[in-house]
A and B are shown apart, each in its own frame.
Chain A
Amino acid sequence: MNTLNTNDLLKQGAIWGFIVLELVFFTVAGKYLSLSQNAFMDLDNMLLLFKQSAPIGIIALGMTVIMINGNIDLSVGAIFALCAVVLLDSMSWPFLTGLGDWVIPVSWGLALLTGVVLGAINGLIVWKTGVDAFIVTLGAMLGYRGLVFMFNGEQPTSHLNWTLVDFAEAQFLGLHTATWFLLGVAVALWLLMTRTVHGRNAYAIGDNREAAVNAGIRVGPHMMINFMIIGFLAGLSAVVFYSESGSVNPNDGSLYELWAITAVVLGGTKLTGGSGSIISTLGGVLAIQLLRKGLGHIGADTETVNLVIGSILIAVLFLDRQLNRKAKGELRT
């Protein structure tokens, strides 16, 4: 038992170890390679890092739930964009303008509702048709993105509301609004997945669906709830991000699904479901953002950054396999 626990700890701790490694590396390398005079581990820089992690981070946390449940959601980027369009556009809807600043909560509510509904559509199709979530959400990704383009063509949708911008740029206890949302979501989902019956059943379904069915767990509703959760979070991510920027391009949020999945996998969640942790995903999100920022700091361009992240992802999956094999008494697979 004990040896296995240490092994589990090792796996849980791996992502945080990796983050420390990154910090050390970029601090040292930054001294020699960086063009700027600022130290990498500067407090403001780190606070910014949290804030920048938030949009994809919030989605990645939701993706963890979906993947633990044994599904995947490729449509989150499109949902994100559609929610953003609803958010910004609704602020100038004539029948809402009379509300003054009260339009803000209404628009937020509309954006979040959009996310939940789109997620519910995905979940309902997966539940009722039994088609694989990969296929369903691939279709949804194309479909929802189509809706974004139908809305305003190639044109960006813009609306700046200064009250909103002030709110988004506010700092409370040193942390930005976006960071608070990221942490809040992490805590909420962590509680959901470790403390509630719904969370534990989601694990069981992802682990062994047949066993779950045999035990009388109603698989469909649980999956639908999870799709609604990730839809909501994609909406929340849009709310957090676009409150500040005030303008959405129809292609915004594309590839978000892949970044989210990358962060989840880096955090150690199994692609086949049944195992994973919200907190480790948070680690995965931070690790990716650190890598981007760090490589930028020492003067690498975006293409290099993607190449490095890709290589690390493959290396991590490989290491994970090796670790698992050791744990199971060297049985080769």
Chain B
Amino acid sequence: MTSFTPALRLQDIVKTFPGVRALDGVSLTVLPGEVHALMGENGAGKSTLMRVLGGVLQPNSGRILIGEEPTIMASPLDAKSKGVVFIHQELSLAEELSVAENVYLGELPRKSFGRVDWDRLHEKTAAILDKLKVGFTPQTRVGDLSLANQQMVEIARALTVDAKAVIFDEPTASLTDAEKVVLFDVIADLKARGVGVIYISHRMEEIFHMTDRISILRDGQYRGTLHTAETSEEELTQLMIGRKLDLSRKINHAEVGAVALEVRGLSCGRLYSDVSFEVRRGEVLGFYGLVGAGRTEVAETLFGLRDPDAGQILLDGEEVRIGSPVEAIARGISLVPEDRKGQGLVLGMNCRDNMTLPQVDDLKAGPFVAEGAEIAIFDQYRDKLDIRTPGWRQKVGNLSGGNQQKIVIAKWLSMHPNVLIVDEPTRGIDVGSKSEIHNLIRDLAANGFAVIVISSEMPEVLHVSDRIVAMHHGKVIRTFTSEEVTEESLVQAISGIVAETAA
């Protein structure tokens, strides 16, 4: 901390939406040169607070002070010009445009007659991309980049202006470990230059690794600020959700039944090759690997979204060809996709209808949709997963990021599929609900379903899986049982190192 004038202060911010008091008198002080974590459950109001600070939303009351000057953030551009840069939780990119245009979106450098100064644009962007050590050029079309690289484009925006404060809202959700290291370097660099960084994340390791202080929100209320060095995970969790959590690793295998799904020598272009595994009823099979290892693509193939070049898929011992998601659902395979916004939700539809979307056909009373049954399903899962919404009529697009994810999960859980595939089920979900979802997954297996969990978080796969498939560059390196797996052997396997002792 280089100085004692705060970089910015928020005072008694109140923000209400119809039916929701999202922020209830929240105050926050960020010093220059500190990394300030903002934590809280899904729907606690973190993103809303940042949207107020970033000029996206206007508060109902309260004050914003930048360097002790009372300020009104009229618009995102206004906030940016006052030195507050906001990296959004959801990607906010125009896919058809180039990387450079996206980085400087809304602020393209100009020449006379409103012409774009392409040379300057590309030069400035190249300098930023250099700093981020990414493997693409300013001219690349954003739609051609991987999710992780798109996230890097978002991050590049933070470096376009001389910022006083930079807000990162869950930036690591879709980054690979290597890219995370780069991001942490970027943040350390910002910090060294005296910029105040606000960092939102649900990942405890990151919080303890990088931040100086932590402020906690709960149900829209400010719950205090702690010095990271003087606190513990337990104390944080207690403040965030008001109770303690049992985070120990427990393996109590359910009764394992017949093989529900078997895959033999499945290959698909350059995406993955010769993938073989089986899942039994009553079992949770974890898929672990780095982002891009081909796990999602395998899942998409099983769900009928991709055509495999070779190999067999056997359901209950019978070879099947799955040509479309409709067929997959009919055969009892469900996929909770990784990209919730793009694939899992209809943002303009209300919570209940999103949740019951795949089964409206079965929920009919005569020619009409059975409203009662739909609401019953909604209520059940809202309680189970603790979904924060004023009611089922709320549009899903208005929920907080983590609560959207819960709706997607509830949608497929309520189908009671034979084989459930969940891809990164707890990305962006707070610690309390995370363990709820883990318990739910274990329960499902215990009830005789076969579950496949794809995850990039080691504690998660270790916690929920009976067996773990480690993938690297589209190949299965090794399958572990939960007894034999260790963190070390798992890390080796996903880096492509085959342990000699494996056989």
Q: Which residues of A contact B (CB under 8 A)?
A: 1, 4, 195-198, 200-201, 203-204, 207-208, 210-217, 270, 274-275, 329-332
Contact = CB atoms under 8 A, between A and B. Distances in A.
Contacts of A274: 94-97
Contact of B105 (A211, A270, A329): A211
B97 A331 contact: no
Interface stretch (B111-119, B383-391, B459-467): B111-119
A250 B255 CA distance: 80
B96 A275 contact: yes
B316 interface: no
A197 B306 contact: no
B306 A331 contact: yes
Contacts of B97: 200, 203-204, 207, 274
A196 B80 contact: no
Contacts of A208: 92-95
A96 B96 CA distance: 50
Nearest to B98: A200
Nearest to B78: A216
15 contacts: A1-B140, A195-B115, A195-B116, A196-B115, A200-B108, A201-B106, A203-B94, A211-B93, A211-B94, A212-B105, A217-B106, A274-B95, A275-B96, A330-B306, A331-B300
B88 A214 contact: yes
A204 B300 CA distance: 30
B324 interface: yes
Contacts of A329: 269, 271, 297, 306
Given A212-B94, A332-B306, 5 more contacts: A196-B116, A201-B106, A211-B92, A330-B268, A330-B269
A215 B93 CA distance: 9
A201 B114 CA distance: 11
B291 to A, nearest CB: 16
Nearest to B308: A330
Contact of A197 (B76, B77, B88, B116): B116
Given A1-B144, A216-B80, A200 B116 contact: yes
Contacts of B268: 330
Rank and list the top 3 A-B pairs by shortest CB-CB distance, nearest first: A216-B77, A215-B106, A207-B94
A332 B307 CA distance: 9
Interface centre among B110, B113, B144, B297 (most CB of A within 10 A): B144
Contacts of B88: 214
A330 B307 contact: yes
A216 B108 contact: no
B95 A207 contact: yes
B123 to A, nearest CB: 17
Given A196-B116, A197-B114, A331-B300, A212 B305 contact: no
Interface string B183-197: 000000000000000
A294 B97 CA distance: 37
Given A200-B101, A215-B76, A4 B94 contact: no
A245 B93 CA distance: 48
A1 B305 CA distance: 24
Interface centre among A197, A201, A203, A210 (most CB of B within 10 A): A197
A213 B55 CA distance: 11
A207 B94 CA distance: 5
B340 to A, nearest CB: 16
A212 B101 CA distance: 11
B446 interface: no
Contacts of A207: 94-97
Contact of B96 (A1, A203, A212, A215): A203
A9 B50 CA distance: 42
B96 A216 contact: no
B304 interface: yes
A217 B96 contact: no
Contacts of A203: 94, 96-97
B306 A212 contact: no
B75 interface: yes
Interface string B83-103: 000101000111111000100
B269 A197 contact: no
Contact of A332 (B75, B78, B113, B305): B305
A270 B95 CA distance: 13
B95 to A, nearest CB: 6
A65 B88 CA distance: 29
A92 B441 CA distance: 81
Contacts of B115: 195-197
B65 interface: no
